[in-house]
Chain A
């Protein structure tokens, strides 16, 4: 599951993930994504932080509070590159944080790591 309001970033990441054999569903707002989560369980969530309406931090807190979705790893993507900004992301429950712009190679490599370690846990 990909949540990203910038259409360029959304299509690109979804295409890249699809080319790697993933099934990617993208949403342009946290509200739409949360609604979809009530009847769909993705293996991984890629969450943009700066979203219109509910932001990625609030959305992730909600995902982590819900026992149905709390096990799904969430990776944050943010264009705020300042250290003190990134400190806000602590204790939210993110598996990892990508700062934008990110290299898609790095994204794929790290998604694989997160997915594999998640499989190992089960």
Chain B
């Protein structure tokens, strides 16, 4: 009778006369909602519900209990057995339909939710594996690109230095171009690789006791060469005995080279660049001062973003850089738990301040890697 009326409302409906028959078919049918009478021969409704709940929770199979009139104990028991709702006998049909509708629409929402959660989990897995692939790809690309660059840079350097015989002016100029472009390409590969590693949180520091003066010396050799080529005066001022500090030697070197080559790049011939190193309040401080053109206030915030360079710098001089150097410096300093500050005035030059936490050490291992 009930089933027929429900069918008239457009619901597909099956009925069973006892719990045993219903349990046989329920796994196959998987109904959207179950109407379950408490009073049944042999197994009663509560018992059947308890069995069902071992397999289906209230979200996967909503159960609407049918209770006798004013049977309050039954209602409480039904909810304790995790029924979703109840309706009293004699059944008020419009109320029943309203309840069924409510539970079905809730179930539909739940189904959609779990479907989208599954989809999200699936996408997450795919993203994680894609990200891993990307990292592996970048890593092997970097290696594959470096090997031929080794030949390009090596042979052009050897040729330029006349080790394979004297070059005329034009040949020498061409060689220098090959070398400079190769160096630029290398810088680009390095910066891109590092930056993407940092963005993914995959760049880990390799911190060990490092002789700070030795580190500064190796930076000095590189910057001296660049400063000399451009006619810029380069000075280093070391305050007190620096000793050994626990830092990532390679990354700290990278920070200093990036900031100092920038300083040299933006400083005109005859003017000077200064590196000042001191230890103050548990901080290892590097001050990089230049007498370049300075950075306009509106550019100060942007210069640490990837692929941004100060407009003033780009317009007034044709200076090429990867646009990644400062972004990298900032992130590498932050990985060390330090900070970078900048003071600059247009026309008077800039000062970059790098503060790294200072952990002194009696040992030193960091001078093996060149």
Q: Do the two shown chains form a genuine complex with each other?
A: yes
Bound form: Cα–Cα A109–B203 in Å = 31
Q: Chain B 199-232 against A: per-residue CB contact (8 Å), 1 yes, 0 no?
A: 0000111100000000000000000000000000
State the Cβ distance, A88 to closest chain B Cβ, in Å: 10
- Bound-state Cα–Cα, A27 to B265, Å: 41
Instruction: Write out the residue numbers on chain A whose beta carbons fall within 8 Å of the beta carbon of B157.
Output: 103-105
| B240 shortest CB reach to chain A, Å | 28
Partner of A79, one of B146, B152, B182: B146
Residues of B within 8 A of A12 (CB): 150-151, 154-155, 158
Residues of B with C-beta under 8 A to A104:
154, 157-158
Contact A86 B150 (CB under 8 A): no
Residue of A nearest to B143 (CB): A79
Known A83-B248, A97-B368, A101-B153; judge A16-B158 contact (CB<8 A).
yes
Query: A6 touching B147 by the CB < 8 A rule?
Result: yes
In the bound complex, CA of A8 to CA of B150 (Å): 8
CB atoms of B147 and A98 under 8 A apart: no
| B186 contacts the other chain (CB 8 A) | yes
CB atoms of A81 and B190 under 8 A apart: yes
B-contacting residues of A (Cβ < 8 Å)? Answer: 6, 8-9, 12-13, 15-16, 19, 50, 79-84, 86-87, 94, 96-106, 110
Could you list 22 A-B pairs, sorted by A, with CB under 8 Å? Answer: A8-B147, A8-B150, A9-B147, A9-B151, A15-B164, A16-B163, A79-B142, A81-B146, A81-B193, A83-B250, A86-B206, A97-B369, A99-B370, A101-B146, A101-B150, A101-B152, A101-B153, A101-B154, A102-B370, A104-B154, A104-B157, A110-B370
Given contacts A12-B155, A12-B158, A83-B205, 16 further A-B contacts (CB under 8 A): A9-B147, A9-B150, A9-B154, A15-B158, A79-B142, A79-B143, A80-B143, A83-B248, A83-B251, A96-B368, A100-B146, A100-B147, A101-B146, A101-B152, A105-B157, A105-B161
